[in-house]
Amino acid sequence: MDLGNVRIVLVGPLYGGNVGSVCRAMSNTGITDLVIADPRPLNMLEARMMACHADPILQARQTSDTLAEAVADCGLVIGTSARRGLYRQHAQTPREWTPTILEACATGKVALVFGREDKGLSNEELALCTHIVQIPTTDESMSINLAQAVMICCYELFVASGSYESPEEKSGEAPSELRERMFGLWREMMLDVGFMEPDKADHMMMGLRRILGRGVHTLDDVKIMMGIARQAQWASGASEKRQEGGRRKAEVSER
């Protein structure tokens, strides 16, 4: 889902660096509507530096004298607060509010409101909010950096909006026959390099099967493990010795 209806409202931010970092977090998560309410003078050099590739969001920011003006056209107004207690009993985590926010986004504007670095949101500003978000932290350190708080909220919305698809494993499962060849090769190699004695081989192989069984499953995985075994055999000179001595033929490299 498109997050075009999400507006980030910063109330009276103090530091240009934070405003720039907020723009960057917004850009990372596909949110572009930024309003600064109750503005204070900002170090714009710092803001541009921290915004990086998100400078267009910084340039396009709107300002308004009050929070009421900044959210006038928004349905849901989600306030964020580090503090607990009075007026904040209905606070939930960003993840808990996310479905409500996404649903509202489908039909209208939703504001996510963040307070001042030095004193957060006033009670009057909090009263304008329909919902309160509290990002979980330790009791000893509840106040999160402004831009990081914005990032956590935007990230939750971004992931839940389905905008992101996690990478899929492209290599299919290796068939049992190939896996068994891999174990055969490892058995040979571990004998060749002197890692185990022939009488311990069965026991050691059970251990190796257990270890590799936890992670080595795909065709690519198995091919890599076979490559390692072949290279170790080659480096130990075992396959040459075998050919010279006319003992077991080193079929390994032809497999």
Site residues, ligand SAH (CB under 6 A): 80-83, 114-115, 117, 119-121, 133-135, 137, 142-144, 146, 149
Q: Which two tokens stand for residue 221?
A: 């995985």
Cβ(78)–Cβ(55) below 8 Å: no
- Smallest separation, CB 4 to ligand SAH (Å): 22
- Smallest separation, CB 71 to ligand SAH (Å): 14
- Smallest separation, CB 109 to ligand SAH (Å): 19
- In the complex with ligand SAH, the residue whose CB is nearer, 122 or 236, is 122
- Smallest separation, CB 144 to ligand SAH (Å): 3
Length of the chain: 255
61: which residues sit within 8 A by CB, 6+ positions away?
19, 23, 34, 35, 36
- Smallest separation, CB 164 to ligand SAH (Å): 23
- In the complex with ligand SAH, the residue whose CB is nearer, 8 or 232, is 8
Rounded Cα distance between 143 and 168, Å, is: 37
Q: Which two tokens stand for residue 245?
A: 């001595």
- In the complex with ligand SAH, the residue whose CB is nearer, 134 or 239, is 134
- In the complex with ligand SAH, the residue whose CB is nearer, 9 or 225, is 9
- Smallest separation, CB 153 to ligand SAH (Å): 8
Hey, how many other C-beta atoms are within 10 angstroms of the C-beta on 51? 24
- In the complex with ligand SAH, the residue whose CB is nearer, 27 or 134, is 134
Residue 11, strand partner residues: 37
- Smallest separation, CB 174 to ligand SAH (Å): 46
Rounded Cα distance between 70 and 189, Å, is: 69
Q: Where are the alpha helices (DSSP H) in the chain?
A: 16-28, 44-51, 55-59, 67-70, 94-105, 123-127, 146-160, 176-192, 201-213, 219-236, 238-244
Q: Which two tokens stand for residue 207?
A: 């251990």
212: which residues sit within 8 A by CB, 6+ positions away?
182, 183, 225
Residue with tokens 């010279």: 244
CA of 149: how far to CAs of 97, 180, 209, 241, in Å?
15, 51, 45, 64
